Structure 1
């Protein structure tokens, strides 16, 4: 495995954090190549993030404050839209630091300056809970290396560790353009192209670690009368560790992945939370197959070979860009407080 240059940790002066009882050390790893994402050809409609100009146009007038709209202050291309992610994660980082006493570094697989960070002992020895946000477009070719899978397997052999995998949606996987069009009209987000396939990197990790789950589709969640996301359907009998104790809802996002379990083996993956689908939206192949909910939050408890927990939850749940309330903060606290 090639040795990366020193990792640049976004907005953090990060030094090794000593373990302290009750003070879980949390790290975030974003699986994208920032230059590859920011450098996508904007003349191509599919498999890229929006430009900041597109975000402003679609969400007008939300981002017309000068700090967002002035090109002298904030980039208006794809890079500008990528920077919004860091704004969105900052409240979660602050919440975790206040809860644990430890700052939360954010690593990027390849950052703005081209520095590359692989998941190895330099990251994992300093971490108890690792979030891996699968926000890399498959077109950019971010493949998990065998050494990274082995490092995560070693990480999960430690008692009290937790790996939170967040592969994002997979929209337009079909070659049939009519199917892609149906998916687009179902979620209704003008910023999402007819094909937007994410999480090559996290899929590689899941294959290597034996996590029998696939991220599929981009489904529109149901909402309540106040436009808040509808409550989860929670299997509390399976939630023996209390991940969803005191939790009723996450936050609203227009297109969320279904985490399909790909094994029939019992007790390997517990589907703890399912999200109702908005019945008022145009049909989607998933709903036409009779589904009214999709898998939103999954847990793989420790087994005979793995001491740590594995969770699956979309990265949008940890971003303030999509709102949040006390229920969501309770969920965050449950994760960082678990032992």
Structure 2
């Protein structure tokens, strides 16, 4: 514990130095932000105002599409601006939260270097900034920002505590997935401060009919081979659905790997989940995508995308088939002739 907070104290001191001349900070979450990225970004906004008197804007690319995430923004009154409304080049200081430069999952132009990078994904070779605080041993970036706030003695308002608690809970599946001691401490310290009624409404939001249409299509089109399940969602309005369905399917008996593919705009979105705590899903998806897109992740969960610009529907179908076959080979099944439909002879 002491070493974690010593690292945090050093990071706070460094943050103060690199923002010494900052008048306005732009904080970028990753594209299509999840609760962890949202909570981490708004926590940094609160910190730099309370500690340094610096005003900031939180922004994101893509959409906030998942029902839980929209409920989180609405109930906790979180303000985030779409990046297309932000004049990026007017900001001399930019912070990336829950993402790193040149990953392909944030809207920071390649020619711009951030001032601050705070993340819990594995450190990338080309990540450069005056302050880089990357802790892959943490289960959530919200844990890092919680330690920042606690170390500097900043009061954590109830809405922010609720956001941070929900972020850690969702990212680590209530401390059951890739959570360490730091995540447990933050989780337990935030729970008494959180609004329990809002947490319940965020976790159980109303769902649109389109959600069930995609779920139906996913299950009908899913197939299994030994310990692997694969689902092809087709075209979706919300790219996070690939991850949501993967989270669901990996819970199936005798399944240790789940791959979901979805088409969103010109991209083929991929999401991997595994129950093996040492599986290195992030490396698997990087090998799967290669140089044809962007990908990254942790031991048990990973995501990425391929650029499908200009491809016909038939070509996209073949690309998906290629990804499925390559994935099967990467997880140990190199010669698979037939996958069984998931719902074939299903018993309740």
TM-score of the superposed pair, with normalisation by structure 1: 0.28
Name the one with the larger helix percent: 2
Considering Cα pairs closer than 8 Å and 6+ residues apart, tell me whether 1 or 2 has the greater RCO.
Answer: 1
TM-score of the superposed pair, with normalisation by structure 2: 0.27
Which has the larger Rg?
Answer: 2
